[in-house]
Structure 1
């Protein structure tokens, strides 16, 4: 069995994530290939796409959002993702159980004694007039029937778990600040959601496995589960296993992959890339060692934006007071610092937010909180 070392896995991830070479790919196709982008912070996907695509224009994503070809919705891991309309409709039912279980587990005490099916039916009845609502407005309409749970908890149960919702523009548009207005996903997209399948190895699950490996592989079964949050994919993995090739990592884990997917040579140069908060190139794995050191794992879930140097998380970056500041997490060579500064200047031009300075902090090799 071929063993793939960490650097080889790193280069495979960069290639699949369009972070080794910027792709000459339409924005819609890039969102589809990446299986969506994590988007609970509305402006972050723009940076993620800028780092991955040649000559990316924010208006391209705005047009997809307003044209209902791409949608913001709760999906993988119960987080807001930006996904294509086709994927949202195909995947949502597969995620229903996970979404419900995660909300009910998080708020077990607050939601004790509440029948989720009754809440879902009441919420759908309220939304039947096809009027977009904020979460607060939806909860207000149900408050008389369920006055006990905190409004935020009842709202999250409804919007993040029980009713497949789209978060409507202008939220998520470039340089736009807007609150969340929700509309049932099927209503917003004008198409019904694909129904759930009783077969645990259903075609949707198999499709998810193939799509994940195309964008993230080679990967272990635990990585697939960590990416999507679904517990029921082993049967789907088993169903497609004969299509796949297998490797081992240096820890002895079995890794699965598509036969013809790119696995670049480990010495392939990797350019500096600026990643947005919660980027799935980091969060899309159970074992994130291929791209981030163990000492810095907390950064990936704390919402800090990362800088890749030689393919690994080596710095964080912030924008504040008209200045883009890069804080190294390890010593950088003179060449690395020059490359980081050059990419930061390019990012400043893209952001177009009146940033007039780039500051690269002194390197001390210590992680910042």
Structure 2
């Protein structure tokens, strides 16, 4: 890509031109790359080419706020700014306020949600889950205290994390030796027998999905 761009702009560094295209233009990664379990150099095309229609030119983020809240609400203005990288969103939320439902958390911070969004009972149990790197569950809010207890190092948050009852409890990784794939589950604090049992069901499903052609093993350890 850089070489082709340099033919048109020969006075610029080819690598810099390629980076500019990748980070500024709306692109999509297409097959044969971006396929689970297969490596190789990424293949890109423009969103317009892939979808067969032009990209909208509207720059006001009004349409983005409801879509963000549909995934991450209730959330604050700062939460969305942290997630999106956009600034000055308070005026957008104020403009959309008649269409949103406001709340206040225990700290008095104003939160917003969609009026029709589900609001389950606070005591509703959340099933255990294993998350990939940089999952939006952790990156979708500036305030992560609802899932990340105090003292849990932020260096772990962007990694392969797992939750029990909706709370960040540790990290996981695969270890592959010969024909055996071991899922290592490292917890910050001891897991109860019931918690381990609930994680095992989810863990076997994860390994079967990620490594279907190998024998499986599950091991629990504690982060030292």
- Alignment match, 1:144: 10
**After superposition, what is the alpha-carbon deviation per residue over 1:85-120, rounded to whole angstroms, capped at 9, x for unaligned?**
xxxxxxxxxxxxxxxxxxxxxxxxxxxxxxxxxxxx
Secondary structure in structure 2 of the residue aligned to 1:330? coil
**After superposition, what is the alpha-carbon deviation per residue over 1:151-200, rounded to whole angstroms, capped at 9, x for unaligned?**
54442222211x33222212212332231222222122211111134xxx
- Alignment match, 2:28: 166
CA distance in 2, matches of 1:305, 1:279: 9
- Alignment match, 1:305: 160
Q: What is the TM-score when the length of structure 1 is the normalising length?
A: 0.55
**Residue 335 of structure 1 pairs with residue 198 of structure 2:** no
- Alignment match, 2:130: 274
- Alignment match, 1:239: 95
CA distance in 2, matches of 1:356, 1:234: 52
Uncovered stretches (5+) of structure 2, i.e. residues with no partner: none
**After superposition, what is the alpha-carbon deviation per residue over 1:225-252, rounded to whole angstroms, capped at 9, x for unaligned?**
1111111433321111012222211222
CA distance in 1, matches of 2:48, 2:129: 36
**After superposition, what is the alpha-carbon deviation per residue over 1:4-43, rounded to whole angstroms, capped at 9, x for unaligned?**
xxxxxxxxxxxxxxxxxxxxxxxxxxxxxxxxxxxxxxxx
Secondary structure in structure 2 of the residue aligned to 1:359? strand
**Structural mapping, 1:13-162, within 5 Å:** 133=1, 136-138=2-4, 141=7, 144-147=10-13, 152-161=15-24
How many angstroms does 1:358 deviate by? 2.7
**Residue 225 of structure 1 pairs with residue 81 of structure 2:** yes
Aligned match for 2:57, one of 183, 195, 215: 195
CA distance in 1, matches of 2:131, 2:194: 20
Aligned match for 2:153, one of 296, 303, 307: 296
Q: How many matched pairs?
A: 219
Alignment CA distance shift 1:263-1:354 (3 Å)? same
CA distance in 1, matches of 2:133, 2:86: 23
- Alignment match, 1:350: 209
Q: Which has the higher strand share?
A: 2
- Alignment match, 1:265: 121
How many angstroms does 1:140 deviate by? 5.1
Alignment CA distance shift 1:355-1:140 (3 Å)? farther
Secondary structure in structure 1 of the residue aligned to 2:83? helix
1 or 2 for the larger relative contact order (CA 8 Å, sep ≥6)? Answer: 1
- Alignment match, 1:26: none
- Alignment match, 2:37: 175
Q: What is the TM-score when the length of structure 2 is the normalising length?
A: 0.87
CA distance in 2, matches of 1:286, 1:331: 28
Q: Which has the higher helix share?
A: 1
Instruction: Tell me if structure 1 keeps the 8 A contact 2:62–2:92.
Output: yes
Secondary structure in structure 1 of the residue aligned to 2:108? coil
CA distance in 2, matches of 1:138, 1:320: 41
**After superposition, what is the alpha-carbon deviation per residue over 1:247-293, rounded to whole angstroms, capped at 9, x for unaligned?**
21122211111222112111111111111111101111111111112
